[in-house]
Amino acid sequence: MKRYYGPLLGFYTVFLLYMMFYGCGRLPGPVGYLQLHPFRTINIFFSSNVAAQHFAVNIIGNIVVFMPFGWLGLLSQKYFSFPKLLIGFPIAIAIIELTQYWSHRGTADIDDLFLNTVGMILGYLFYSLVKYFYEDWMFERESEMEYA
């Protein structure tokens, strides 16, 4: 899996960038939009009668879509440790959000940065659980083979 993860994540990243700037018929608007009030967008989606589809795309989508980035530890523990991911990932997302603002393609929303980072953290936790149980399973298999 480790051998394929890097190229797959590269293609996935290019696809996400395309979707953020050009996907779904996204055209540049006359002005860029910048939303810097934390949790404003999230509160709107939780407190108003927003259609389930919009809720799923905006809230759940912004979390789930970025979960694969929590698995960066597969590539290199040295360069992608959790503290480094926790610093570098939000910086990368902030750059992408500001580029959306400057290019007038989408809204630069602080809540997107928060939700995307939550997605990366959940992905990292899932990666850690899988790694923990996989290593235990491998250890059990080795000990069974020694006594056979």
Q: What is the pLDDT of residue 26?
A: 84
Q: Number of folded domains in the chain?
A: 1
Closest residue by Cα to residue 100 from 11, 23, 12: 23
Element (H, E) at 8: helix 2-21
Note the pLDDT tens digit of each residue in 84-113: 999 999 999 999 999 999 999 988 999 999
Backbone angles phi, psi at 107, to 5 degrees: -110, 130
Indicate whether 135 pLDDT > 90. no
145: pLDDT confidence band, cut at 50, 70 and 90?
A: low
pTM for the whole structure: 0.85
* Summary mean pLDDT of the chain: 88
Instruction: Render pLDDT for 56-90 as a digit per residue (tens, 0 to 9).
Output: 889 999 999 999 999 987 788 777 889 999 999 99
> Residue 127 pairs with which residues in a beta bridge?
none
**Is the pLDDT confidence value at 12 over 80?**
yes
Range of the domain at 76: 2-147
Average pLDDT of span 20-46: 91
Comparing 52 with 2, the larger pLDDT belongs to 52
pLDDT score of 13: 96
Contact in structure between 128 and 85 (CB atoms under 8 Å): no
Mark out the alpha helices in the chain (DSSP H runs): 2-21, 40-47, 52-55, 61-64, 82-103, 110-147
